[in-house]
Amino acid sequence: MAKIDSFEVEVSGGVISGSKTGTGPPVVILHGGPGLSDYLDSLGEELAPRYTVYRYQQRGLLPSTTSGPFSVEVHADDALAVLRAVAPNGAVVIGHSWGGYLAMHLAAMRPDLMLGLVVVDSVGVVGDGGIADMARLIQERLPPESTERLEELDEREAAGGSTPEDALESLALTWRARFADPANAPTMPPMRISLDCNIDTWNSMVDHLAKQTVANLLPLVTIPAIFVLGAESPIPPSHGLASAALIPGARAEVHEGCGHFPWIERPGVVKTAVDSLNSL
C-alpha cells in the first residue's frame, strides 16, 4: 500500500487537513456532499500508482475547520488555498458530485491554477443542474418501505427538527438507488455530516445555478476537460453533457452500467480519463 502523508493548509477560520499519496503528476480530488466526510479512498488508491494524489476533508468536519460561513465562494477559496500550497505549478482537479460542481466553479474563476479538469457524475451548471431529476429518479428507485421512512425524515427536516443522524439515515436509505444495479450496490461506507455545511452550501449552489454564475464563464475556459458520466445515474447524463458543451474542446464519456459512482462500478474509467488529460 502506498505511503500516506498528511498536510494542513491555513484558511479563513482555521485549517484544511488532507492527505498525500503516490508519485507522479499532481491531482487534487474534491469529494461530494456538501458537508460530508471524504469517501474517495478507493479512487485515491486507484490513481496513486501513477499520480501524486491530494485529498482533503472539506470545511465543516474535523480534522478540517468546522467553522463557516459555508458557501460556494468559501469552499472555492479553501480549494484554491490547497492548490497553491500543494501544487503551485498547477494540478489536474477531479471533482465528484457536489465536488464536480466546485471543480467547475474553480475552472471558471481560476483556470490558471489548474492543468486540467475531470468532472465525475456531477450536478450540472445549466438550469437546475439536474437537481429535480435526481430527486425524482431516486424516489422512483426506492422500495415502498424506504419511501415511507424517507417521507417521515423529510417532514422532520421541513419542520426544522432534523439531526445529523436523520440526514445520514436518509443518505443510507437512498444509497443503493444511486447505483446502476441497486440490488448489488456496495454497502455505504461510514459517513459523517455537518448539517449546517450541507444546508448552507447547497443553498449557495442553488443560488449560483439560478444566476448561471459558472455557466456564463465556462465558455472562456481553455484548460483540457473531460466529463465521466454514468448512463444510469440519478443525475441524468444530459446535464453533464450540457455542462461539457460549454467548455471549448471538452470531452464527455457516458458509461453504460454506471450510476453515480463510475470508479466503483467500472474501475479504471476515471483513471483512464485522467491519463488522457495528462497525455495531451
Show which of 142, 166, 184 is a domain's final residue. 184
Output the pLDDT for position 159: 83
Could you read off the pLDDT of 73-128 as tens digits, one per residue? 999 999 999 999 999 999 999 999 999 999 999 999 999 999 999 999 999 999 99
Output the pLDDT for position 160: 81
Q: Are residues 83 and 198 in the same domain?
A: yes
Q: Are residues 11 and 106 in the same domain?
A: yes
Considering only CA atoms, which of 76, 42, 49, 36 is closest in space to residue 192?
36
Q: Are residues 161 and 27 in the same domain?
A: no
Could you read off the pLDDT of 12-21 as tens digits, one per residue? 999 999 999 9
Output the pLDDT for position 145: 85
Rounded CA separation 122/129 (Å)? 9
Handedness of CA 13, 44, 1, 257 (dihedral sign): positive
Question: Pairing mode, if any, of strands 114-120 and 52-56?
Answer: unpaired
Output the pLDDT for position 118: 98
Q: Are residues 203 and 74 in the same domain?
A: yes
Name the one residue in this structure whose C-alpha cell is 440526514.
Answer: 167
- Total domains present in the chain: 2
Considering only CA atoms, which of 90, 93, 86, 95 is closest in space to residue 6?
86
Q: Are residues 38 and 166 in the same domain?
A: no
Q: Are residues 154 and 199 in the same domain?
A: no
Could you read off the pLDDT of 158-205 as tens digits, one per residue? 888 889 999 999 999 999 999 999 999 999 999 999 999 999 999 999
The boundaries of the domain holding residue 166 are 134-184
DSSP 8-state secondary structure symbol assigned to residue 227: E
Rounded CA separation 99/96 (Å)? 5
Q: Are residues 141 and 249 in the same domain?
A: no
Q: Are residues 170 and 258 in the same domain?
A: no
Output the pLDDT for position 162: 87
Q: How confident is the model at residue 156 (pLDDT cuts 50, 70, 90)?
A: confident
Q: Are residues 152 and 58 in the same domain?
A: no
Mean pLDDT of 229-251: 98
Could you read off the pLDDT of 52-87 as tens digits, one per residue? 999 999 999 999 999 999 999 999 999 999 999 999
CATH number at residue 89: 3.40.50.1820
279 has pLDDT over 80: no
Q: Are residues 156 and 117 in the same domain?
A: no
Q: Are residues 8 and 109 in the same domain?
A: yes
Q: Are residues 86 and 21 in the same domain?
A: yes
pTM for the whole structure: 0.96
